[in-house]
Structure 1
Amino acid sequence: MPNRIASGGLIALTGATGFIGQFLLKDMIRRGYRVRVLLRRPVNLHLEADSAIIGDLTHPQNMAEALQGVDAVIHSAGLAHAMSGMPEADYRAINTDATANLAQAAEKAGVRRFIFLSSIRAQSGPVSPTIIHDTSPALPTDAYGRSKLAAEQALAQTNIDWAALRPVLVYGNGVKGNMATLARLARSQWHLPLGGIQAKRSLLSVENLADAIDFLLRTEKPLRQSMIVADNEPLTIGEMIAAMRSGLNRPAGLIPVPEFLLKLGCRALGKQEAFERIAGSLVVDASTLRELGWQPPITTQSALAEMSKHFASDA
């Protein structure tokens, strides 16, 4: 039986209540897949899935019902890196052990492909002075990244056909955190002192992430590897703001304040770490996916402009 999953195949999706999971649920259905959501607890959200099953992957009793007839698993559930201060054991239990449990159950159930949403943080810290390639050493710097890398290593111990995607910062309608903050700044009427920051960061639109997952589901050849996924073009923070404001039909409004002055100001406000995350470089090369034949269908500029329109309409 081929590993590729055709339209009409049954996908088991975890994390369907999160930002990425909610988008994947709608997108996979739009692409013609049937989707069964695996939830830790009942929710009040309207989930347009083929079916839903409640269970706790950290204490699996019997996953046979959840995975019966499933062709592929998309595992997007887990503790996020933003949950700083969580004990390392919690990251290990939820991001590593639960992934291993699900993959082992999927293998027993005859699931043909397992797509795991790992993270670029399995390979790097929040910034990197050099471009990160698929073949670059995996050097996570925190509990979150270590738990994601350990999950990938657990997948490699199974016989199931798996792929671990290492996305960079994912953005799109409904995003939270730093990208939501940037979107709010872009909506403001202020001229922003961010034009002097030269470091670039790779980003990933949630639409491009979903397209990459669909591509891997439909790929004929066995995968069994980790791979970076990102939009094609890294941008400076000023270029991000300019793209968002273009979606609002407004000029960029950027002031080229020297970076060292911004750093001094953020240090005085106790925001030095946040500034370094924004101003630091993190550029990746997603060559493995490109060599398989995937190209992001949406440009970063157009996706940021569309996201900014959404934030404006929700204001």
Structure 2
Amino acid sequence: MTVLVFGASSQVGHFLLPMLGTRGENVVAISRSARSPQENATWMTGHLPDNMPRVDGISAIFCFGPLQSLAAWLNSVALPLAPRVIVTSSMSAETKRESEVPAERAMSQLLRDSEQAFADACARHGSEWTVLRPTLVYGIGLDKSLTPIAQRAMRLRVFPLPNGRGVRQPVHAQDLASAALAALETPASSGKILPIGGGERLPVGEMFARVRRSLPVDTLPIPLPAWSLRVARHGVARLRGPLSRLDADLIADNTQVTQLLGVHPRPFRPDAECWRAPV
């Protein structure tokens, strides 16, 4: 039997592949570009939905990429073993539902529509499925949220510190990988969309302060007063969404992840390795 992993080169895939390797699974990892051979997986080149290599005997599928593309592929292939399918979506499906930015509301709707299309495609095969909806993911320098901030601060030696009343709950990519593997082994998680956040909720200002303290170089802290954030919010279109959420709580209820999957995500204690992409 074969476990197929889409998004294997992502930060979640980076942690999941060794976990699968310790179980002795036959793992096929899909990447857009050629990868060096690894002990814990066979790498194949392809991308969803219409440029995929042939893979036989698929018993389970993990996907850490766009669900819309996965759903399209699922609707186009035969999967006689009705594989169990574990995927990630995003808490943005809920937290950006009422955003003041039209593009973000559209993205939130697309996420929900994609989750439904994925569930429908799984039903076509008789496959059980689980969707994990993480909050902000970090861990090995591959995320598009905290890592760019940290790397820019290391380069410029200054660290802007925006304040806000909102609460954050960053989740480590390794904990998300553990939840994905636990979902594979937990029949009770079938047919569920499970929110997952980190093991700690903290004010947005404290989150940024901890990122700064974790850096391997000294940076000059630059507190950003509320008036400057208001000016930027109304004057710079691309900042309108992120700045509008500084006073919003972007969190997840971990009750189901803890009770169903037995996963207890770690608190937010980043170190310098969190901001360095793996070689």
User: What TM-score range do you get, normalising by the shorter chain?
Assistant: 0.7 to 0.9
Q: Following superposition of structure 1 onto structure 2, how do residues 1-315 of structure 1 map, counting pairs within 5 Å?
A: 10-30=2-22, 32-39=24-31, 43-54=34-45, 57-59=48-50, 66-68=55-57, 70-78=58-66, 92=68, 94-101=69-76, 105-106=78-79, 108-111=80-83, 113-125=84-96, 141-142=106-107, 144-155=110-121, 157-158=123-124, 159-184=126-151, 187=154, 189-190=157-158, 192-194=160-162, 196-221=163-188, 223-248=190-215, 257-276=224-243, 279-281=246-248, 282-300=250-268, 302=269, 305-306=270-271, 308-311=272-275
Q: 1:157: Cα distance to partner?
A: 2.8
TM-score, normalised on structure 1? 0.69
Q: Secondary structure at the match of 1:210?
A: helix
Task: Give the corresponding residue for 1:89.
Answer: none
Q: 1:220 to 1:109 in 2, by over 3 A?
A: closer
Root mean square deviation of aligned Cα: 3.7
Contact 2:142–2:277 under 8 Å retained in 1: no
**Gaps spanning 5+ residues in structure 2: where?**
none
Q: Would the alpha carbon gap of residues 228 and 10 (structure 1) be closer, same or farther in structure 2, given more than 3 Å must change?
A: same
Identity of aligned residues (%): 21
Q: Give the SS at the match of 2:106.
A: coil
What CA distance in whole angstroms lies between the structure 1 residues aligned with 2:223 and 2:197? 27
Deviation at 1:217, TM superposition (A): 1.9
In 2, Cα distance between the equivalents of 1:31 and 1:203? Answer: 28
Within 1, Cα distance between the matches of 2:245 and 2:132?
23
Q: 1:163, CA displacement in angstroms?
A: 0.7
Deviation for aligned residue 1:74: 0.7
Higher normalized strand content (fraction of residues): 2
CA distance in 1, matches of 2:187, 2:242: 43
Partners of 1:221 and 1:214 in 2: how far apart? 13
Conserved? CA contact 2:132–2:194, under 8 Å: yes
Alpha-carbon separation, structure 2, partners of 1:177 and 1:253: 22
The Cα of 1:211 is off from its aligned counterpart by 0.9
* TM-score relative to the length of structure 2: 0.76
Structure 1: distance between partners of 2:139 and 2:127 = 31
Question: Taking structure 1 as reference, are residues 220 and 313 closer, same or farther at Cα in structure 2, changes over 3 Å only?
Answer: closer
Aligned residue pair count: 271
